[in-house]
A and B are shown apart, each in its own frame.
Chain A
């Protein structure tokens, strides 16, 4: 692009680093040989995930197989329908199992949208997606754009419900970062979600649900086929 600016900035960096060399020689170097000790991790990743998600105002439900997931969806959404969140217009991502699961629920809704685009998504009350991984030590949900269209469905509606396989729960952020990179190129958009959207910008008072969802539910699928 603007090649002249590029050359000038790079040459300024090189000139100033060279000017620094004599001073650098006199500085005592920062200790570079740090060995980071490994964190102890509790053996039950599901319990740890649940505990940490609930600590940041998210909800966690453990289900065993499709029937229980559909039942959990029914319970969550019908309870929301009695609140001012309405939960009548449901958007799901294009993950194939979601449409099937929705038909297994016992719900009366006004609309079911599949991965609505940017101009349609704003009218939906609930967004349902799957998650590609979860992190136990922080209660975090991981979305990877390579797998489904869930960028807007997980973000714009006031409620987000995500379904995650228990076998994809990682113990730590570090392990999850290595998993994301190993063996493939990074997807265009990877998102870590830890609890509902929050702000404390007015008088430091915590308020849940500013730009993103104000309710986050994660359903952990602990079905036999995954273990």
Chain B
């Protein structure tokens, strides 16, 4: 079930629902992450204030995004970083392929970056004849399996240790084992060899500081530190929304991101990288290139409701909290960004027509809004997108039905008549199968609330 499409969401979801193993894995993952997040958030007395503060900072940046980007570019360049701008995925991949080819790179190590998943960078680099190795353990596993990530922070959440062992045996020739520590050390050993050989390291960016030109990357494994320390060229890829104004703002985000993602107080490593090294004898890459990607993001600025999608810090908390994601997992969304945030970002990035089912992949229960560390009102965004979809391609029948419904609801006489009619009709006319195949439809009560009230 590799590389599903957002256009077939309903079929994907149905297939995922039938996968008993997947649902077990999802239940474990989402409940564990959810509980850890709850405990971590409760440990800070000012959690709600932090969320408001983080959102205020993001709102400030997004309403002056041009200004903060220009400031970041100025400060980063003054420290020796080279900046590249890419309007779309193709342009981003072309720039990265060119930079790597110019330096005659043959091995490229990568740390986890959702942005390069979005641009399908690996495919482009491989087509250009370079070996690309994902070094985050989860990403490495799914790269060997040729599958997309199924969770923003735990990409291989859908695989059992048995499946990983089989994969390592067939791809790396290691003896079969059920021991997770052994599997991890196999990956460590194999990847060390690639780190030692790598010419280029490609990373993502969690925060880019306008004031200082610093990029901040957080992780637990150490592969990001290796990727950004060993090769002579480091390319950092970031969406244009990743910039924040001041270095001191990190205090707020470093409290929110790890607690929301994995329930940690801090992840094991935070790398704060500001430009290139000062002396030739210093450690670290010779060159730092930072690529700023638009790819549909600037469009989202055109309305305050859609703009808040850009406040997302990719913690994955909304995935764990979502009753839909909990049942179907990430692959069914057919997008690198799954779950509630994926359901709002994907249609805006890829175009409504390519992902028109995703905004409906929600019960609008609001659990995502409750856990979001930057208070993104995802249910409101979903409704906004549904509105845009029905304006574009709502059926005439649906429009007529809602017109009728509105007319009936505005007139007590018509309402009364319709409920009487409904009671009779439901016995003789079968109700739409699409509605009742997945849920029960209770019969209309013989007497309405209104009638009972009048009797009292």
A residues near B (Cβ < 8 Å) are 1-2, 5-6, 8-10, 12-14, 16-17, 19-20, 23-24, 27, 30-32, 34-37, 52, 56, 115, 118-119, 122, 137-138, 140, 145-146, 149, 151-152, 155-156, 173-174, 177-178, 180-181, 185-205, 207, 209-213
Contact = CB atoms under 8 A, between A and B. Distances in A.
B304 A27 contact: yes
Interface residues of B, number: 99
A227 to B, nearest CB: 27
Interface of B: 25, 28-29, 32, 45-46, 49-50, 52-53, 55-56, 59-60, 63, 65-66, 69-70, 79, 82-87, 91, 95, 135-138, 141, 154-157, 159-161, 164, 180-181, 183-185, 187-188, 191-192, 196, 212, 214, 220-223, 225-226, 229-230, 240, 247-248, 250-252, 254-255, 262, 265-278, 282-284, 292, 294, 298-305, 307, 375
A186 B247 contact: yes
A139 B230 CA distance: 26
Contact of A197 (B46, B220, B277): B220
B84 A1 contact: yes
B286 to A, nearest CB: 12
Contact of B221 (A10, A31, A149, A199): A199
Contact of B52 (A9, A12, A34): A34
A19 B302 contact: yes
B268 A195 contact: yes
Nearest to B155: A201
B180 A207 contact: yes
A16 B161 contact: no
Nearest to B305: A23
A187 B214 CA distance: 10
Contact of B222 (A2, A197, A202): A197
Given A2-B95, A151-B284, A196 B268 contact: yes
Contact of B266 (A16, A192, A198): A192
Given A119-B196, A200-B154, A204-B157, A20 B304 contact: yes
Given A122-B196, A145-B284, A193-B269, A202 B141 contact: yes
Contact of B265 (A8, A14, A138, A181): A138
B181 A207 contact: yes
B301 A16 contact: yes
Nearest to A149: B283
Nearest to A119: B196
Contact of A212 (B65, B137, B222): B222
Nearest to A151: B283
B137 A210 contact: yes
A181 B154 contact: no
B87 A202 contact: no
A17 B307 CA distance: 9
Given A2-B84, A188-B277, A210-B221, A36 B226 contact: no
